Amino acid sequence: MQSLRPRCRQPVYRRALSLLSSLGLASLSLSACDHGTPLPNDAYVWQRQWTPELKDAIRDNADVVRQWRVLAGEREARPKQAEPWRYTEPDWPALLSSRRPVIAVFRLNGQAPPGNQDASAIIGRFRQWQARGAMLAGIEIDHDCASSRLPAYAAFLRELRRQLPAAATLSITALPTWLDSPALESLLAAPDESVLQVHAVMQPRRGLFDPEQAQDWAMAYAKRAPRPWRIALPAYGSRVVWDQAGRIAAVESERSLLIADGLASELIAPPEQVMDFVKKMEAAPPRGLAGLVWFRLPTGQDRRAWSQSTWHAALARQPLFSKLEITATPAASGLYDLWLSNSGNADAPLPAALRWPASCLAADGAGGYALDYDAAGMLLRRVQPGLLQPGAKRRTGWLRCPALDPKKDIHVQA
């Protein structure tokens, strides 16, 4: 039986955040120490379309990933429909060339309890994938059900485990809300391992990821999990839309939902915040913690995920730093365009505000910034959080000033 107490690990990151000058140069550095073993990384491949960009991401990141957890099928809450399953067909040459094991992930809608037909569909698809010649290591079930349904869910998993080959791993995702259920230990004893999700839109004002809350969940989960478990971490952002009553109406992440902009906000998981949590987990791993699972593998098309370079460096535990610079380029007589650029190698959170001398006569925002006023005068205030990728530039607005020296006159509020 696999030991539930991993080898001692030491921190592999050191973070330093400093304001380099009144110009607003912000630097973030995460450096690896000389000892300690990082937790192994798995990655969710949740994309439904295997685009050339996705295949490139599989190829370029295989060296930092232990296993791919690939979306294999989804069953919606439509029991009367003839075929309730929607399957995904990966690009097998891309997966095979990566030389990494694959976990086939099946998502079951939490509103409909799984049954024997679902087990048959999952086993059937598993055997089809085996026939493709993939390095198929097992399956994972993603079923976000209510805590009251955990006993029935455990019974389904025991039957599924009985039908799977002995060498195949059975994994499940787990919700922090299940920590209040007395049935949790029985549920977690059914699969071979579990993946605790610590990223979610529970309280949007706190963002997608709260490191303190995640640490509390991890410590509590370690006391309840009888078998090895992993932590799912975010490397993405989401657009959250609220209705008129203040309730969450939709969450848009990897797919566009074509929802109006009314009451919407972009939420992000800053790389430095997530990696600080990783550092703590690796310094003192909770009992049974076996690794990390990242959601989701970023591609060149994914505008809400971390950049490829940031994600790859983070998983490789390489030093990360972001370096923001604000510049003003003349557009006409007395008129300047304001630009933010990032010359580091890590995604940089957009600064909260940009300020300038009171002698400037007019201004307006762009690129997620809007004109605002306070006791000190005009400023451009960030209206949506976001990340500026390495090597990227973003126009944030314009200024009309009689004279302007960007290095002395433009100030950034982090």
Pair (304, 359) in one structural domain: no
Pair (326, 306) in one structural domain: no
Is residue 33 a contact partner of residue 12, using CB atoms and an 8 Å limit? yes
380 φ, ψ (degrees, to nearest 5) = -100, 120
Please tell me the predicted confidence (pLDDT) of residue 50. Answer: 95
Is residue 278 a contact partner of residue 13, using CB atoms and an 8 Å limit? yes
Q: Whose structure tokens read 């730093």?
A: 321
Q: Is residue 14 part of a domain?
A: no
Q: Is residue 143 part of a domain?
A: yes
Q: Which CATH number do you get for residue 335?
A: 2.60.40
Please tell me the distance from the alpha carbon of residue 59 to that of residue 265, in angstroms, as a whole number: 33
Radius of gyration of the chain (CA): 24
Q: Is residue 24 part of a domain?
A: no
pLDDT digit string (tens) for the chain, length 414 residues: 333 433 333 333 222 223 223 233 333 333 333 345 799 999 999 999 999 999 999 999 999 999 999 999 999 876 556 788 999 999 999 999 999 999 999 999 998 899 999 999 999 999 999 999 889 999 999 999 999 999 999 999 999 999 999 999 999 999 999 999 999 999 999 999 999 999 864 555 567 899 999 999 999 999 999 999 999 999 987 666 556 665 555 555 555 544 555 466 678 888 989 999 999 999 999 999 999 999 999 998 887 889 999 999 999 998 888 899 999 999 998 999 999 999 998 999 999 999 999 999 999 999 999 999 999 999 999 998 889 999 999 999 999 999 898 888 999 998
Q: Indicate the residue among 281, 300, 318 that finishes a domain.
A: 318
Reference 180, options 215, 140, 150; nearest CA is 150
Q: Indicate the residue among 318, 352, 387 that finishes a domain.
A: 318
211 φ, ψ (degrees, to nearest 5) = -60, -35
Pair (96, 188) in one structural domain: yes
Q: Indicate the residue among 264, 288, 318 that finishes a domain.
A: 318
- Name the residue range of residue 346's domain: 322-413
Please tell me the predicted confidence (pLDDT) of residue 279. Answer: 94
Q: Which CATH number do you get for residue 232?
A: 3.20.20.80
Q: Is residue 57 part of a domain?
A: yes
Pair (329, 312) in one structural domain: no
For the CA atoms of 191, 157, 236, 290, what is the dihedral angle to 10 degrees?
0
Number of domains in the chain: 2
Reference 126, options 73, 193, 196, 68; nearest CA is 73
Cα angle 129-131-135, degrees, rounded to a multiple of 5: 65
Pair (200, 99) in one structural domain: yes
- Reading the block at residue 317, the tokens are 């535990």
Q: How far apart are the first and last CA of the chain?
A: 49
Please tell me the predicted confidence (pLDDT) of residue 394. Answer: 96
Pair (247, 353) in one structural domain: no
Please tell me the predicted confidence (pLDDT) of residue 115. Answer: 93
Please tell me the predicted confidence (pLDDT) of residue 236. Answer: 87
133: left (phi over 0), alpha (psi -120 to 50) or beta: left
Pair (287, 356) in one structural domain: no
Please tell me the predicted confidence (pLDDT) of residue 320. Answer: 85
Please tell me the predicted confidence (pLDDT) of residue 302. Answer: 82
Pair (207, 98) in one structural domain: yes
Which H helix or E strand runs over 213? helix 211-224
Pair (90, 188) in one structural domain: yes
- Reading the block at residue 17, the tokens are 């955040």
Reference 69, options 169, 143, 140, 144; nearest CA is 140
Pair (70, 160) in one structural domain: yes
